[in-house]
Amino acid sequence: MGKSLIEWTDRVWNPTTGCSPGLQCYERCYARRFATRLAGRYGYPQDDPFRVTFHPDRLELPLRWRPCRVFVDSMGDLFHEDVSTDVLDRVFAVMAHAPRLTFQILTKRPENAMGYLNNTATLWRIFRECSGVNPWNWPLRNVWLGVSVENQEAADIRIPPLLETQAALRFVSCEALLGPVDLIRYLTFEGEHERAEDMLARYGASQPVSWIIAGGETGPGARPCHPDWLRRLRDQCMAAGVPYWMKGHGEWRKGDQGWAMEKGLKHVHLGVRGFVLDFRVAVEPSATMVRVGRKAAGDLLDGRQWKEMPQHG
């Protein structure tokens, strides 16, 4: 597998691929579109290319790579119910044998990750699989665990189990961002997550969530992302001292309705609305959003790029 087109990582590694219907994002999933194009090739089943599939021929690829960041399962979810414990053990054994690499795992099933990573039996199975690996080096210091969230509802469902899961570093990907999200209570040790502090301290983690990625939706049928949603996340990260990586605005940007009509561009109006943000009522200003394409929409927020990475050894 070559270098990744995903900006916040260097390589992708897909020892498993595929997912299944059930989550709201399934119909618009970019990985599902790509898998459909690759049906019958490169290990993607002809009859159902997005079926959860293990690719043993890809398993040991990272052992050949020089130090870099590796996004695990960009074409699926490693913690899908159809990925067996045996496969997970083999994948984590490879990660244990490659401490020079940093593995970034992103899931929409944090409860499955918690069940696997918090299980003492998992530690000893990995130890038996990896001769010479210190069993007390668990969780693996080179593995980052994150969850994908698209709105506040998803954040409040997926982030709490992430905080309860043993991991060296936790992150949240708000992409595609489809509404305003308040994450400040997940970025500090205040309130209901105080008990997480003792657990995290044992693994050298300084914060419950140590990195936020955000961006608008792209691809066919992409929905607009209000720039204030991205700005608000940026401000929360700055207040908590958490690195913020803004991938881009997606396919849409703020514009003028008259200009959009003159150019024949698709446009929508997002009206003024109020919502609760960090225990305060916030007001989101109206905006005319014009579909201009990913390149024209760009990745600037308040005149600059936001491409911050966590410092984790």
Helix then strand count (H, E) for the chain reads: 10, 14
Q: What is the model's pTM?
A: 0.87
Q: Is 281 exposed, middle or buried (0-12, 13-18, 19+ CB in 10 A)?
A: exposed
Which residues lie closer than 8 Å to 48 by C-beta, 6 or more apart?
Answer: none
pLDDT tens per residue across all 313 residues of the chain:
556 788 999 999 999 998 876 665 556 666 666 556 666 677 777 777 668 899 999 999 999 999 999 999 998 999 999 999 999 999 999 999 999 999 999 999 999 999 999 988 888 888 777 766 666 677 788 999 999 999 999 999 999 999 989 888 999 999 999 999 999 989 976 554 545 555 455 444 557 899 999 999 998 889 999 999 999 999 999 999 999 999 999 999 988 777 777 778 777 877 655 555 554 545 567 788 899 999 999 999 999 999 999 986 5
Q: What is the DSSP string of 27-45?
A: GG-HHHHHHHHTTTSTT--
